[in-house]
Amino acid sequence: MGTITRALANNITTGGVVSASGISNTSVSAVTSLPSGCDVGDFFLISEQTASASASLSFTSGLDSTYDAYCFKFINIHPATDGTAFHFNGSTDGGSNYNVTKTSSFFQAYHSESDSVTSLGYGPSEDLAQSTSYQILFNDLGNASDENGSGELWLFNPSSTTYVKHFMGTSNRTNLNDISINTYYGGYFNTTSAIDAIDFKMASGNIDAGTIKLFGVKKT
């Protein structure tokens, strides 16, 4: 059994770093935080925005040919208006206009705190068919002090000028009627132009609070 293997087996550590014969850890220091714009596994944090009574959060840079896939993580999104929807749209002109044609699907499962309401079904009023409207990520979001929604949105190969641009994701939210709703959505931007900006906003009122992070995913 090798030196390092023996050290691991005997749980020999110094300052949180495994030590073994012939290996010095005196120069190793703890990493307390990661800088913005850094590798985190297969994800590369490109940018993040935090809302504060914001009309919208727009990402107008960072979507290019560097990565084949991008992932937006939206965390603790809280609306100013009770019962509104959180949705997004894309742009092909750097954010001057958010009106790209989309076709999508949408379904969700939900369960109330009272255990009296449960369901799983397709959302015919949340999908799009060749529409330039904003795509819903979650709707009927409650604005009580402890209510919010979180989830993720994936965008694939947005810089392609050959293919349409697929997106998909999932989210969970606290409904205005105290219902936990888990949502799944997917579709495509029906354009061969590059998608170079994404805008997030509420259907009514401001984004009172919440953070959105944009990650690039390493090419395989």
Q: pLDDT for 53-108, tens place per residue?
A: 999 999 999 999 999 999 999 999 999 999 999 999 999 999 999 999 999 999 99
Provide mean pLDDT across the span 134-158.
Answer: 96
Provide mean pLDDT across the span 41-56.
Answer: 93
* pLDDT computed for residue 64 by the predictor: 96
Which of 16-30, 73-87, 129-143 has the weakest average pLDDT? Answer: 16-30
DSSP string, 45-88: EEEEEEEEEESEEEE-SS-STT-SEEEEEEEEEEESSTTEEEEE
Provide mean pLDDT across the span 196-213.
Answer: 98
Residue 11 resides in a domain: no
Residue 105 resides in a domain: yes
* pLDDT computed for residue 42 by the predictor: 85
* pLDDT computed for residue 99 by the predictor: 98
Which of 9-13, 36-40, 90-94, 206-210 has the weakest average pLDDT? Answer: 9-13
State the pLDDT confidence band at 145, using cuts at 50, 70 and 90.
very high
Percent of the chain topping pLDDT 70? 80
Residue 28 resides in a domain: no
Residue 207 resides in a domain: yes
State the pLDDT confidence band at 28, using cuts at 50, 70 and 90.
very low
Residue 4 resides in a domain: no
Whether the pLDDT of residue 162 is over 90: the answer is yes
DSSP string, 116-143: --EEEEE-TTT--SSB-SPEEEEEEE--
Q: What angle do CA 103, 155, 124 make, to 5 degrees?
A: 30
Residue with tokens 């395989």: 220
Mean of the per-residue pLDDT values of the chain: 86
Whether the pLDDT of residue 152 is over 90: the answer is yes
Q: What is the largest CA-CA distance in the chain?
A: 66
pTM of the predicted protein model: 0.81
* pLDDT computed for residue 218 by the predictor: 80
Residue 139 resides in a domain: yes
Residue 102 resides in a domain: yes
> Domain containing 74: what range?
38-217
* pLDDT computed for residue 19 by the predictor: 40
Number of domains in the chain: 1
* Structure-model confidence comparison of residues 35 and 133, the more confident one: 133
Percent of the chain topping pLDDT 90? 79
* pLDDT computed for residue 220 by the predictor: 62
Residue 210 resides in a domain: yes
Residue with tokens 């989210």: 171
3-state secondary structure of 5: helix
State the CATH number of the domain containing residue 176: 2.60.120
- Return the DSSP state at 7: H
